[in-house]
C-alpha cells in the first residue's frame, strides 16, 4: 500500500501556522469522509430495507461506489487501490441486481453494522477531539493574553508565578489534546480504507451464501479477488496497529519532557541566548493603535525571510510583509507597563512597529537577529560565520588597546580649542597637528564607569551649571525658561539619541572622543543595551541644550564656553561627541565626554558648535560679528545656511525642526 499522509506529533507543541494549515487539510478530509460515509450508509440501508426494490437499491449502491473517485479527498494519496476495488464491486452489484433475495439479517450484520460502527465510533471520536482541541487552544490563548499583560513590578511576583503556572497548565492541556487529535486523524486515514471495504466484503459473502446461483455466478477468480482484498485490509490493519503503537510511544516521550518546556520565561536569571542568529521565527504580540490614545495587542506568528520581517496569522496559507529590516535599528523599549518589548525603527528615523516577546531569551534573540539582518549579513556567502565574527569583534572591543591606528584627516570643523590660534579675525581656527597619538590609558582611565542614560532632570542640570545663588528675600521665583534662546544669534535644532558618557583624563586632543566612542559602543554590544534616549539638541551661541521631545523640558544644559572638544566619527558619520569641562566644589575641574547618535551627519552639529564659539569670540566686536554673519549665505526666506548640504527635515515639519538652517 502507498504511504499515508500523517500529522507530525513533534509539531503539536509549537502549534505553528504551517501545522494549523496542514491540520485544516486533515479536517477537511475528515469532513468529506463523514459526508461520504453518511451517503454510503444511506445507500446500504436502502439495500437492507428495500426487499421488493432491491434491484433499484443495488443500482444506486453501484453508482455510489463509483462516486468515491469523484469525492476529491484532500488526502486522497494511496486511494487508487481502493478506487479500483470499488469499481470492481460496482460491477458485481450490477450483476447481483437481478438476483436479489431476502438478505435482511446477513446484510444487517455484515454490511450495515460495520459502516455504522465506523461512523459512530471513529468519526464521532474525531469530532469530539476536535471540539476538545478547540477549547484547549482557546484556554491557552486566554492564559497567554493574561500572561502578556503582567506588569514588571516586583511586588507582583506571586501573581506572575500563578499566571505562569496557569499558562503551563493550559499549554500542557493543549499539547495533550492536540496529540490525541492528531493521532485520531492519522488513524482515520487507515480506518477510512477499511471502512470502505469491509461492508462490501460482507455484502459479497452474503450474496454468495444466499443466492442459489451464487456458485455459478461467482467463479474462482472472484473468490481469489475477495481473498486479496481481505489480505489488503489485514495488511492495513497491521500497519495501523504498528503506527498506533509508534504514536503512543512518541506521545509518552513528548509528555515526559521537563516542565520548563511549557513554562514561559523559565530561565530568567541566565538564559542561553544565541546572538549569531540570521533568521528567527516565533509568536510575538503586535501593538496596534486603535485610536488617539487606545491600543490593542495581537498575538501573531512572525518569521524573517531574507531582509524582511513576515507575519502569518493562524489559518493563513502564507505570510505577509510587515517590515523591511535592511538598515533599520531595533531597541528595547518600555511600552504600557509590558515586559520584553522592543521597537523597530526605519532607516529614516521614523518609529516603526512595537513587538512583545514572551520571555527575556526570546526578546534578546529577536533583537540580535534583527540587528544582524539589518547589517545585510544574510547576503554574504557564509552569513553564520560573519555573524559570529562580528560578535567576537564586539567582545574584543572592550579590551584596552596600546595605541591608536593612524586616522585620516577629518574635514569637519572639530577644533582643538586650547592649542588653536586665530590667524586673523576673518579666518576660521585651524587646529595644530599633534606630534604623536596618545595611548588609550592617557586619555581614559581603565575601568572608568559609563553612564548610558541622562537621568538628571532639567532643574538639577540648571543647579549644577548655575552654582550657588542668593535667595530672593521677597519670595519671587526665578524664571526657569531660557530667554537666551530667543535672543541668541544662533538657534540650531538636531534630533539625537544619547549613547553614553564617561569621565576622561584630558581634553587636549579629539582622540579622547574617538576612544570614548569605541568604549561606549563596545560596552553596549557586550551588555546587550539597545535602549537609547531620544532628545532634541538645541545649539545656540550661548549653550547646548538637550530637550525632551514630548514635554519640551530641558534634560541638560551646557554652557558653550565649557565645551573644549567636539568631533564627529570619521567612518560612522552619524556619531558625534563633545568634551565638557565642569568646575567642582573643591576648586578643581572635571572632564566628561558625551557621545550621541544623530539623525543627520555629525559634521553639521560640529559646524553649529564651531559657529557658536566663533560668535562668542567676536561678540564684543560688533564689526567682526557683522562680518562673520555676512560670511554665512542666506536662503530666500532670510535664514542662514550653515552647510552646503540641503537642510535636514528629520520629522517632516520644518516649523518644528530647522535642520541645517538658523535664524539671526
Query: pLDDT at position 479, please?
Result: 40
Query: For the packed helices 17-49 and 54-66, what is the interaxial angle rounded to 10 degrees?
Result: 160
Between 478 and 255, whose confidence is greater?
255
CA distance 54 to 103: 10
Q: Is the pLDDT of residue 423 over 70?
A: no
Q: What is the pLDDT of residues 150-194, one digit of tens each?
A: 887 766 778 888 888 998 999 899 889 999 988 988 888 888 888
The helix (run of H) or strand (run of E) holding residue 268 is none
Split at pLDDT 50, 70, 90, the class of 238 is: very high
Between 481 and 9, whose confidence is greater?
9
Q: What is the pLDDT of residues 92-133, one digit of tens each?
A: 888 777 677 666 777 888 888 899 989 898 899 999 999 999
Query: pLDDT at position 12, please?
Result: 80
Split at pLDDT 50, 70, 90, the class of 633 is: low
Using an 8 Å Cβ cutoff, are 303 and 280 in contact?
A: yes
The predicted model gives 587-601 an average pLDDT of 88
Using an 8 Å Cβ cutoff, are 624 and 569 in contact?
A: no
For the beta carbon of residue 582, count every other beta carbon within 10 angstroms: 13
Using an 8 Å Cβ cutoff, are 36 and 68 in contact?
A: yes
Query: pLDDT at position 401, please?
Result: 37
CA distance 620 to 511: 32
Stated pTM of the model: 0.46
Split at pLDDT 50, 70, 90, the class of 611 is: confident
* Nearest by Cα to 566 from 440, 410, 421: 410
Between 5 and 536, whose confidence is greater?
536
The predicted model gives 20-35 an average pLDDT of 90
Least confident of 210-219, 486-495, 521-530: 210-219
Split at pLDDT 50, 70, 90, the class of 147 is: confident
CA of 122: how far to CAs of 27, 30, 188, 197, 577, in Å? 14, 10, 7, 16, 73
Query: pLDDT at position 297, please?
Result: 92
The predicted model gives 325-349 an average pLDDT of 85
Highest-scoring range by mean pLDDT, 488-497, 553-562, 623-632, 637-646 = 553-562
C-alpha cell at 169: 497548565
Write the DSSP symbol of residue 561. Answer: G
Query: pLDDT at position 629, please?
Result: 67
Query: pLDDT at position 407, please?
Result: 36
Split at pLDDT 50, 70, 90, the class of 195 is: confident
Query: pLDDT at position 541, please?
Result: 83
For cell 588609550, name the residue: 440
Highest-scoring range by mean pLDDT, 166-170, 387-391, 472-476, 633-637 = 166-170
CA distance 215 to 213: 5
Cβ-proximal residues to 397 (8 Å cutoff; 6+ apart), any chain: 518, 521, 522, 525, 526
Q: Is the pLDDT of residue 209 over 80?
A: no
* Strand ranges inside 620-660, DSSP E: 640-641
Using an 8 Å Cβ cutoff, are 323 and 284 in contact?
A: no
- Phi, psi angle pair for 254, to nearest 5°: -70, -35
For the beta carbon of residue 351, count every other beta carbon within 10 angstroms: 11
Report helix, strand or coil for 377: helix
CA distance 109 to 207: 13
Domains observed in the chain: 9-150+161-218 (1.20.1270.60), 281-391 (2.30.29.30), 491-631 (2.30.29.30)
Amino acid at each position: 500500500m502507498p504511504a499515508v499522509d500523517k500529522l507530525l506529533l513533534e509539531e503539536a507543541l509549537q502549534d505553528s501556522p504551517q501545522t494549523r494549515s496542514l491540520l485544516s487539510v486533515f479536517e477537511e478530509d475528515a469532513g468529506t469522509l463523514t459526508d461520504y460515509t453518511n451517503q454510503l450508509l444511506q445507500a446500504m440501508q436502502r439495500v437492507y430495507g428495500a426487499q421488493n426494490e432491491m434491484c433499484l437499491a443495488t443500482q444506486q449502491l453501484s453508482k455510489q461506489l463509483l462516486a468515491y473517485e469523484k469525492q476529491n479527498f484532500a488526502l486522497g494519496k494511496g486511494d487508487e487501490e481502493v478506487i479500483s476495488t470499488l469499481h470492481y464491486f460496482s460491477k458485481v452489484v450490477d450483476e447481483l441486481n437481478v438476483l436479489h433475495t431476502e438478505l435482511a439479517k446477513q446484510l444487517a450484520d455484515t454490511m450495515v453494522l460495520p459502516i455504522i460502527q465506523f461512523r459512530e465510533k471513529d468519526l464521532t471520536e474525531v469530532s469530539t477531539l476536535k471540539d476538545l482541541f478547540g477549547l484547549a487552544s482557546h484556554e491557552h490563548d486566554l492564559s497567554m493574553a493574561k500572561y502578556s499583560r503582567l506588569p514588571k513590578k516586583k511586588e507582583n511576583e506571586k501573581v506572575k508565578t500563578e499566571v505562569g503556572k496557569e499558562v503551563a497548565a493550559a499549554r500542557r492541556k493543549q499539547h495533550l489534546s492536540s496529540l490525541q487529535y492528531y493521532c485520531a486523524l492519522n488513524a482515520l486515514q487507515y480506518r477510512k480504507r477499511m471502512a470502505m471495504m469491509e461492508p462490501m466484503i460482507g455484502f459479497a459473502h452474503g450474496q454468495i451464501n444466499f443466492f442459489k446461483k451464487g456458485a455459478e455466478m461467482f467463479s474462482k477468480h472472484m473468490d481469489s479477488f475477495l481473498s486479496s482484498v481481505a489480505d489488503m485490509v489485514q495488511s492495513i490493519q497491521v500497519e495501523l496497529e504498528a503506527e498506533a503503537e509508534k504514536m503512543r510511544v512518541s506521545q509518552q516521550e513528548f509528555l515526559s519532557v521537563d516542565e520548563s518546556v511549557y513554562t514561559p520565561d523559565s530561565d530568567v536569571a541566565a538564559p542561553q541566548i544565541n546572538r549569531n542568529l540570521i533568521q528567527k521565527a516565533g509568536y510575538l504580540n503586535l501593538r496596534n493603535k486603535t485610536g488617539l490614545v487606545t491600543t490593542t495587542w495581537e498575538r501573531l506568528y512572525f518569521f524573517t525571510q531574507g531582509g524582511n520581517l513576515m507575519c502569518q496569522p493562524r489559518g493563513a496559507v502564507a505570510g505577509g510583509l510587515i517590515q523591511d529590516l535592511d538598515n533599520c535599528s531595533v531597541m528595547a523599549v518600555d511600552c504600557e507597563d509590558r515586559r520584553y518589548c522592543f521597537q523597530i525603527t526605519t532607516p529614516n528615523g521614523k518609529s516603526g512597529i512595537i513587538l512583545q516577546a514572551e520571555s527575556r531569551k526570546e526578546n534578546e534573540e529577536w533583537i540580535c537577529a534583527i540587528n544582524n539582518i539589518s547589517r545585510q549579513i544574510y547576503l554574504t556567502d557564509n552569513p553564520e560565520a560573519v555573524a559570529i565574527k562580528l560578535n567576537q569583534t564586539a567582545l574584543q572591543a572592550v579590551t584596552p588597546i596600546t595605541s591608536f591606528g593612524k586616522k585620516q584627516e577629518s574635514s569637519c570643523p572639530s577644533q582643538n580649542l586650547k592649542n588653536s590660534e586665530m590667524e586673523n579675525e576673518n579666518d576660521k581656527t585651524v587646529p595644530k597637528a599633534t606630534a604623536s597619538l596618545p595611548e588609550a590609558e592617557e586619555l581614559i582611565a581603565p575601568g572608568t564607569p559609563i553612564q548610558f542614560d541622562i537621568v538628571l532632570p532639567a532643574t538639577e542640570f540648571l543647579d549644577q551649571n548655575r552654582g550657588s545663588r542668593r535667595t530672593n528675600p521677597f519670595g519671587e521665583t526665578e524664571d526657569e525658561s531660557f530667554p537666551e534662546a530667543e535672543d541668541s544669534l544662533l538657534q540650531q535644532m538636531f534630533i539625537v539619541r544619547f549613547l553614553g558618557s564617561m569621565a576622561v583624563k584630558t581634553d587636549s586632543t579629539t582622540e579622547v572622543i574617538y576612544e570614548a566612542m569605541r568604549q561606549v559602543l563596545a560596552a553596549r554590544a557586550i551588555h546587550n543595551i539597545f535602549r537609547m534616549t531620544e532628545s532634541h539638541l538645541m545649539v545656540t551661541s550661548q549653550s547646548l541644550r538637550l530637550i525632551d521631545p514630548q514635554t519640551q523640558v530641558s534634560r541638560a544644559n551646557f554652557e558653550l564656553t565649557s565645551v573644549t572638544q567636539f568631533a564627529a566619527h570619521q567612518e560612522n558619520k552619524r556619531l558625534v561627541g563633545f568634551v565638557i569641562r565642569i568646575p567642582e566644589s573643591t576648586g578643581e575641574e572635571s572632564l566628561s565626554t558625551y557621545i550621541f547618535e544623530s539623525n543627520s551627519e555629525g559634521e553639521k552639529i560640529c559646524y553649529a558648535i564651531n559657529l557658536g564659539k566663533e560668535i562668542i569670540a567676536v561678540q564684543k566686536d560688533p564689526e567682526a560679528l557683522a562680518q562673520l554673519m555676512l560670511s554665512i549665505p542666506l536662503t530666500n526666506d532670510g535664514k542662514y545656511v550653515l552647510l552646503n548640504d540641503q537642510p535636514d527635515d528629520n520629522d517632516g515639519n520644518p516649523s518644528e525642526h530647522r535642520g541645517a538652517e538658523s535664524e539671526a
